[in-house]
Amino acid sequence: MQGITFGKGRSEGNKGMKSLLGGKGANLAEMASIGLSVPPGLTISTEACQEYQQVGKKLPEGLWDEIIEGLNIVEKDMGAFLGDPAKPLLLSVRSGAAVS
C-alpha cells in the first residue's frame, strides 16, 4: 500500500499508522473512520516517499495508478472533478510526514 484514501465515513488507515502516513494523514484517517466529518482525501505513504528518493526521484511502480484511483474516489465523494471548469475539484496538497 503506497497510499490510503479517507472520507465519507470510510478510511483505509487509522491513528496507529503515524509512521506510515505521518501525523496529519493518520489522524485524518482515524477521524474519518470514526465518522467525523473530514474532507475526502488521499495520503501517500512515507514508504512511497522513501522509495521515490532512493530510486532517483522516480515514482515507485504502481504509485501513479494508486494516485489516480484515489483521485477518482475523492472526485466521486465531492461531486467535483479535476480540470472541470463547471465543477472544479479544489485540492490542498501538503508535506507533513517525517519523510516527504
Tens of pLDDT, residue by residue over 48-92, are 999 999 999 999 999 999 999 999 999 999 999 999 999 999 999
Residue 72 host element (H or E) = helix 63-78
Backbone φ/ψ region at 79: left (φ over 0), alpha (ψ -120 to 50), beta:
left
CB-CB contact of 31 with 24 (8 Å): no
Q: Which amino acid is at 53?
A: Q
**Which pLDDT value is given to residue 95?**
81
Tens of pLDDT, residue by residue over 39-55, are 999 999 999 999 999 99
**Which pLDDT value is given to residue 97?**
59
DSSP 7-52: ETTEES--GGGHHHHHHHHHHHHHHHHTT-----EEEE-HHHHHHH
What pTM, to 2 d.p., does this model score?
A: 0.85
CB-CB contact of 29 with 11 (8 Å): yes
Domains of the chain: 3-78 (3.30.1490.20)
